[in-house]
Amino acid sequence: MDHIKRDVSRMVEEYSNNKEDNPFSKIIPALIKKGLENANLSMFSDDKKRELLFSVAIESYKLAGNKEKLLKTGDKCLDEGHIAEAIAAYKIVGDQDKLNKVGDYCFEKGKTEFAIEVYSALDNKTKLLSLGNKCFDTKQYGLSAKAFELAGDKDKLNIVGEEFMKIGLLANALKVFEAAGNQMMVQFIKENFGDKDFASRVYV
């Protein structure tokens, strides 16, 4: 841990200042200015220390305009499961292939919502549809609906809505049909079922 701290503090002295998208985003500039060797991180777990150190490293490489180091740091963060930091590094570089890799990693690790967010940010409709289909096949209908909605596939949304109808989840079906713009099914559900039905599982 000490050698990482030394390396980062040396790098921080070379460059200096600004922010990143994680819980420490407001204090990172102050830490960079202060010098990490003067910061007391003893209250943090090793994982949290590494997360903070990666954040400082990413910010420093960003300021230095060192894309090669940013990519390497992003790869290391991804290997160690620091997904937010990996995304931050790849975003700075503008590497869409690497960002897609993060989305794939998230999906493989069961972090499906994160994968959906990454693919949505990249406007990767092909990946969103593929993810939506996989979620549907594994009966994760809520996630499949989210993926299909972000991909703009109304036909697939209607299929999810019908599935919610089959299992009696009318509130879910209504929401999905609304997202699909299926006014006929929205009207059918609203006119034939009440709030009490939405609060429970109703078989139709």
pLDDT attached to residue 13: 40
Structural domain includes residue 147: no
CA-CA distances (angstroms) from residue 178 to 116, 169, 172, 173, 175?
A: 20, 14, 10, 8, 5
Q: Is residue 178 domain-shared with residue 197, that is, in the same domain?
A: yes
Same domain as 71, residue 24: yes
Place of tokens 């991804």: 78
- Identify whether residues 78 and 162 lie together within a single domain: no
Residue that is last in its domain, among 94, 112, 127: 94
Residues 81 and 18 in one domain: yes
187 located within any domain:
yes
Statement to judge: residues 68 and 84 lie in one domain: yes
- Is position 148 within any domain? no
145 inside domain: no
* C-alpha to C-alpha distance for 53 and 114, rounded to whole angstroms: 23
Residue 82 and residue 22 share a domain? yes
pTM, to two decimals: 0.65
Residue 130 and residue 161 in one domain: no
Q: How confident is the model at residue 147 (pLDDT cuts 50, 70, 90)?
A: very high
pLDDT number for residue 79: 83
Instruction: Among 24-33, 71-80, 159-168, 194-203, name the most confident range.
Output: 159-168
**Residue-number span of the structural domain to which 163 is assigned:** 153-204
Clarify whether residues 131 and 160 are in a common domain: no
For the residues 165-179, what does the mean pLDDT come to? 94
DSSP states of 47-66 as a string? HHHHHHHHHHHHHHHHHHT-
Do 2 and 80 lie in a common domain? yes
pLDDT at 3: 42
Q: What are phi and psi of 134, to 5 degrees?
A: -65, -40
User: Does one domain contain both 85 and 105?
Assistant: no
Nearest of 65, 63, 46 to residue 4 by alpha carbon = 46
Tally the domains of the chain: 3
Inside any domain, residue 146: no
